Amino acid sequence: DTEVTQTPKHLVMGMTNKKSLKCEQHMGHRAMYWYKQKAKKPPELMFVYSYEKLSINESVPSRFSPECPNSSLLNLHLHALQPEDSALYLCASSQFSGGGAHNEQFFGPGTRLTVL
Amino acid sequence: LAKTTQPISMDSYEGQEVNITCSHNNIATNDYITWYQQFPSQGPRFIIQGYKTKVTNEVASLFIPADRKSSTLSLPRVSLSDTAVYYCLVGDTGFQKLVFGTGTRLLVSP
């Protein structure tokens, strides 16, 4: 199974809502990532988890809260978002963190988030 | 952190070979070069990776000169379904930050 799944596919939320994005992989990968992608822009790294520990936080506002309950699951908890946070949120996993040989990142299909 | 530079867009026709070049002048000794493809509203997909010389798989070839300051992704005989954005990334195993550059938007026409 070389698939990364993400739920939900689409999410519309108000600025006062609390919601969560979920990501799952069963490839035994020990690194998982959250990216944010605005229209016609490249993906921007938000968080990196390595062996279930947060190893990189790219100065992301605290209204985004990542969680890695176990090696297969990655969540992104959302609270008090702004309309400018509307974007495609991508989850990825790789055997270990970083680039390097044979360490390709497998991306999920993303969650299209709209904040009203 | 090796920065990459690619052409913003390229146009081609079905059946032609497309070569997309990526510049990475400050690539480090331990860095590998990886290319991803992304279709609209989908996550990027790994295409090919290399360190030096030439790498070929079932979908593409990657050419890397001896100085490794650039690389060229070659797509043989493109089809309409190859219309996508192509990203070149540079990084090593211990380097946790992978930075996507602006990418190259390839449009294949009939």
Residue B85 has φ and ψ, to the nearest 5°, of -100, 135
Whether B34 has its CB under 8 Å from any CB of chain A: the answer is yes
Chain B residue with Cα closest to A97 = B96
pLDDT tier at B93 (50, 70, 90 boundaries)?
Answer: low
Chain B residues with CB inside 8 Å of A97's CB? 96
- What is the per-residue pLDDT for B99? 75
- Judged by average pLDDT, the poorest of A44-58, A82-96, B62-76 is A44-58
- Judged by average pLDDT, the poorest of A4-13, A39-48, B14-23, B73-82 is A39-48
In this complex, the residue of B44, B101, B103 whose CB is nearest that of residue A107 is B44
Closest-CA residue to A63 (of A101, A110, A16, A107): A16
Distance (Å, whole) CA A21 – CA A32: 14
Distance (Å, whole) CA B35 – CA A38: 20
Distance (Å, whole) CA B105 – CA B60: 17
Q: Which tokens hold the place of A6?
A: 């993400």
- What is the per-residue pLDDT for B98? 72
Whether B95 has its CB under 8 Å from any CB of chain A: the answer is yes
Chain B residue with Cα closest to A48 = B96
With H, G, I as helix, E, B as strand and everything else as coil, classify residue A85: helix
Strand locations in chain A (E): 4-7, 10-13, 18-25, 31-37, 44-50, 53-57, 64-70, 73-79, 87-94, 106-107, 111-115
Distance (Å, whole) CA A26 – CA A74: 12
pLDDT at B92 over 90: no
Distance (Å, whole) CA B36 – CA B104: 11
Chain A residues with CB inside 8 Å of B46's CB? 104-106
pLDDT tier at A69 (50, 70, 90 boundaries)?
Answer: very high
- What is the per-residue pLDDT for A99? 66
pLDDT at B3 over 90: no
Over range B50-55, report the average pLDDT: 94
Which residue would you say has higher pLDDT here, B1 or B24?
A: B24
Chain A residues with CB inside 8 Å of B95's CB? 98-100
Judged by phi (left if over 0) then psi (alpha if -120 to 50, else beta), residue B76 lies in beta
Distance (Å, whole) CA A68 – CA A54: 8
With H, G, I as helix, E, B as strand and everything else as coil, classify residue A41: coil
Chain A residue with Cα closest to B46 = A104
Which residue would you say has higher pLDDT here, A5 or A55?
A: A5
